[in-house]
Amino acid sequence: MVTSIAAARGGPARAGAALRAELGELMADGARRLCDHPYYQGLRDGTLPGAALLHFTLQDSCHLLPGYGRAQARCSVLARDDRQAAVLSRMATGALDDCTARLAGLHATAERLGLELPLPAGEEKPPIAPTTLGYVSFLGNATAGSLGAAIGAVLPSAWLYMLVTDDLLERHDPGARYAAEVVKAHPGEFYRGMLADFLDLAEQVADTSSAAEQRELVRNAGHAVRYEWAFVDAAWRQEGWPF
């Protein structure tokens, strides 16, 4: 009986490569769907309603990014060696530090565009929206199990962020309303290097995982890609609770 991708493909060194290729196809499809979404189309050409941009950034900075950073920190606890722990800890620290930076940038953006932040009286954060709550809860649950399941849950956000911001930078209208925000959102080459380390780590995890854990990694990655799209769509719709 074949017990792992490695056995099926001729040795442990090929399990991670096969999984990375499978995930690459999943991310390419997810990135295409995201870049075709009206939210990102509007960000590129300047037609995005300001309220949608505020919804996205507040939900991301106040709720999703902190949840993601904590999920990455839990991954570092599950790491199988010190190098894995270091890579995952850097990802966690970067996400958590980014929360403060993005909120500070949002205030400057809102002032430049003449937008009022939709915050409850006396509050610094908006209530967590339904889709955001679902995504954060998924990240928490997925990172409470095996390392493979945890990596599958957190990898898509990092990978798609690079793919989508690359596309935004390449195709946006430099004279449009949100051109400055598009340029500022791109994480740069340092982040691309961090992502490369993260992808290498995912391959290594696959090489040393059971077939069941490999399947769980891919399954969670699929869930996370759909949550990424749903989060963007919720911002486009300016989603809130019915009561």
Higher pLDDT, 100 or 121: 100
Look at residue 86 and tell me if it is in a domain. yes
So what's the pLDDT on residue 1?
A: 27
- Sign of CA pseudo-dihedral 150, 27, 198, 185: negative
So what's the pLDDT on residue 93?
A: 96
Collapsing DSSP to helix, strand or coil, 15 comes out as helix
On whether the CB atoms of residues 19 and 5 are closer than 8 A, the answer is yes
Mean pLDDT value of segment 174-201: 96
Token readout for 151 is 């990596």
Mean pLDDT value of segment 153-157: 98
Model confidence pLDDT, tens digit, residues 27-60: 999 999 999 999 999 999 999 999 999 999 999 9
Look at residue 20 and tell me if it is in a domain. no
So what's the pLDDT on residue 124?
A: 82
Cα distance from N-terminal residue to C-terminal residue, the chain: 53
Of the pLDDT bands very low, low, confident and very high (cuts 50, 70, 90), residue 21 is very high
Model confidence pLDDT, tens digit, residues 57-100: 999 999 999 999 999 999 999 999 999 999 999 999 999 999 98
Angle at 154 between CA 149 and CA 158, to 5 degrees: 150
Higher pLDDT, 100 or 232: 232
- DSSP state, residue 13: G
Domain with residue 83: its CATH number is 1.20.910.10
Of the pLDDT bands very low, low, confident and very high (cuts 50, 70, 90), residue 121 is confident
Look at residue 135 and tell me if it is in a domain. yes
Total structural domains within the chain: 1
Note the helical H segments in 36-127.
38-45, 50-59, 65-78, 82-113
Look at residue 219 and tell me if it is in a domain. yes
Look at residue 168 and tell me if it is in a domain. yes
Look at residue 113 and tell me if it is in a domain. yes
Higher pLDDT, 8 or 129: 129
So what's the pLDDT on residue 107?
A: 86
* Cα dihedral value 153, 65, 167, 194, nearest 10: -70
Asked if residue 2 has pLDDT above 80, the reply is no
Mean pLDDT value of segment 196-214: 94
Mean pLDDT value of segment 180-195: 96
Look at residue 209 and tell me if it is in a domain. yes
Q: What's the predicted TM-score (pTM) here?
A: 0.92
- Euclidean distance between CA atoms 32 and 27, whole angstroms: 8
123 lies in which domain range? 25-237
Look at residue 12 and tell me if it is in a domain. no
- Euclidean distance between CA atoms 158 and 178, whole angstroms: 22
Amino acid at position 231, single letter: F
